[in-house]
Structure 1
Amino acid sequence: MNDPLPETAIAGISDLPEIEAIVEAAYRPYVARMGLLPGPMRDDYAAHVAAGRLRVLRDGQGLAGLLVLIPEATHMLLDNIAIAPRAQGRGYGRLLLDCAEAEARRQGFGVIRLYTHVTMVENVAIYRKRGYAETHRAEVNGLQRVYMEKPLP
């Protein structure tokens, strides 16, 4: 029998070591492909935790994933979503995307936006399947980004 999907919770400062470990494990494989550190590996997760922008997903083995949401003036920014390699393939990414979209709606936003690196083609395909459309591409801090958005009914 499958265990029920876990729920998200606002991250606390004590979660930082596990958060940073998930980010490292989830994004390290992209370093060789990109030739530099991905944006999420450069981020200040203590600041996200302090601002209440970081949610974590726990399963029976500990922290399984994370989600960073940043309310902007006109939209919700899905800044980061990462799943621990040990927890991939269990539907946790879909659960976190559902959580991001629900939170954006709850806060009154009609649009959710995100960006990913152009070499992360798997992510672009996942987001397209979820209804996100590419709006533009740009270079930021040496990173070639694909920007996407989704209207929220």
Structure 2
Amino acid sequence: MLKIRPATPADATPVTAIAQAAFELYIPRIGRPPFPMTVDYAAAIDSGKVWVADDRSTVIGFVLLEDQPDALLLDVIAVSPTAQGTGVGSALLAFVDTEAHSRGHHQITLYTNVAMTENLTYYPHHGYTETHREAFHGFERVHFTKLTAR
């Protein structure tokens, strides 16, 4: 049974491993490791920013969330390649919706790399709208937003 819970320090290793495994396929497309592969997840967990999808005591996905003045930023979402396509990502996105609402945010923002073409259709399928594109430190980002239920 899938449970989404706050990450604990013991989750740092599996969270980091999931980020590495989930994003490594993008290295040839981008030419370098994408941002989620460079995050210090132990520090993010210590700061209370990471929630994990736990299936029978095994971490199979996670989100990293950042409160912004006008929105909740979905900074990273990743699912273990062995669990992709099973609804874990959708469950995590639903959790983010609920979390944004509970924190008083009326919108969720996120960005993805333009080379992560799968995401350009995945996020709109889950209610996100592309707002703009930008170059940022050598990455080509596509920004999305979603209004939360009020």
Q: Which residue is equivalent to 2:141?
A: 145
Any residues of structure 2 matched to 1:75-86 within 5 Å, and which? Answer: 75-86=71-82
CA distance in 2, matches of 1:39, 1:134: 19
Runs of 4+ in 1 over 2 A off after TM superposition: none
Q: Which residue is equivalent to 1:125?
A: 121
Kindly tell me: are residues 61 and 12 of structure 1, through their superposed partners in 2, closer, same or farther at Cα, counting changes over 3 Å? closer
Is 1:8 the counterpart of 2:4 in the alignment? yes
Structure 1 unmatched ranges of 5 or more: none
Number of residues of Structure 1 aligned to a counterpart in Structure 2: 149
Kindly tell me: are residues 125 and 103 of structure 1, through their superposed partners in 2, closer, same or farther at Cα, counting changes over 3 Å? same
Any residues of structure 2 matched to 1:4-153 within 5 Å, and which? Answer: 4=1, 6-60=2-56, 62-153=58-149
SS of corresponding position for 2:105? coil
Deviation for aligned residue 1:138: 1.0
CA distance in 1, matches of 2:13, 2:126: 30
Q: So what's the TM-score if we normalise by structure 1?
A: 0.94
CA distance in 1, matches of 2:58, 2:82: 11
Deviation for aligned residue 1:63: 1.0
Q: Cα deviation per residue 1:31-79 (whole Å; 9 max; x = unaligned)?
A: 0111111010111212210110100111137111011111111100000
Q: So what's the TM-score if we normalise by structure 2?
A: 0.96
AA aligned opposite 2:80? A
